[in-house]
Amino acid sequence: MFIHRVVLSACAGLAALAAATTMSSAALAAKYQLNINTALTTDDPIYKGLERLRDRMKERSNGEFEIRIFSGSQLGKDEDVLEQARAGANVAVVVDGGRLAVFVPEFGVLGGPFLASGYDGVRKVVTSPLFDAWAQKLRKASGHEVLSFNWWQGERHLLTNKPVSKPADLAGVRMRTPGAPVWIETIRAMGATPTPMAWAEVYPALQQQAIDAVEAQTPAAYGARLYEVTKHMTKTGHINLITGLVTSAGWFDGLPADMQTALKEEALAAGDFASRTTEEAIGTYEKDMAAKGVTITEIDVTPFREATADVYGKLGYAELKKTIDEMLK
């Protein structure tokens, strides 16, 4: 028995040594490594864009730069990963402006209702000198570096278990939304009761009737199989979900200048790729959801647009909204 245990212990030790050697070899193969976290699933167009970024950086750096992608928030909630980045960790997260607004309030306007039309409209905002100034403020305020902010996930719509055509139809409806003030105020203005909740909790919450509805972009709703727990998708397009790839400024500053340039250029190119892929995929997702029993309805969004018009003023974005409106003319 004793000999048997010694053999097992020796085998375990050798296995651990082999694993450590393999990990060390992998670490030596790449001088630089970035771990990217996203709440989305591996079949989402945004994830496909991250894969493109990974492959392009590996190619461009001759294997010296390695990107690892973690879907389904494996590294933690967005807020947790942002804190890791603040501490200087080699992590990045696909995140919306609302979660950055706690550091620089201007970012919150990106989640405002009916801000711009489609990807082309919102891309104009996030590649402007105005946005660059926000990014510099973020770097100073929180130690975060924006690699690119052109990762468009689509327009957000209402997923409910009853038909909706006007704000009054949402009275008393508990609707999941992210916890940022601009999202909460928008959903409240649309007539529902905003219920902040992590994305991973949405499906069971709908299943258990802890919430009545959710607002989300089509690719994410499809990827999370929300067609199994909702009956209607009303196309309000109330928020144009634009997200960014945000990392640690301290970690980024430790990269060679050519690597910094490559990472930003490839992040922008990958964001465009992911966003265009999203545009192309939405129609397919909608057809599949309809085939699975979801009633998809186009409505006149004017009542919702009018109901949410005061959100910008309530949150102190009135003047900024005017500036953006002028930019988009």
Is the model's pLDDT at 75 over the cut of 50? yes
Paired sense of beta strands 144-160 and 232-248, if any: antiparallel
Cβ within 8 Å of residue 96, ≥6 positions away:
110, 111, 178, 180, 241, 242, 243, 244
Checking if the pLDDT of 316 tops 80, the result is yes
- Determine the pLDDT at residue 6: 35
Give the model's confidence band at 13: pLDDT under 50 very low, under 70 low, under 90 confident, else very high. Answer: very low
Confidence of residue 242 (pLDDT cuts 50, 70, 90): very high
The reported pLDDT for the residue numbered 26 is 44
Mean pLDDT, the chain, integer = 91
Q: What is the pLDDT of residues 204-215, one digit of tens each?
A: 999 999 999 999
C-beta separation of 38 from 71 below 8 A: yes
pLDDT of residue 1: 40
Length of the chain: 329
All structural domains of the chain: 31-327 (3.40.190.170)
Which pLDDT belongs to residue 29?
A: 65
The pLDDT assigned to 22 comes to 37
Residues whose CB is less than 8 angstroms from the CB of residue 283 and which lie 6 or more positions away in sequence, other chains included: none
Confidence of residue 171 (pLDDT cuts 50, 70, 90): very high
How many Cα neighbours within 13 Å face the side chain of 93?
24
Lowest mean pLDDT among 4-8, 147-151, 285-289: 4-8
pTM, two decimals, is: 0.84
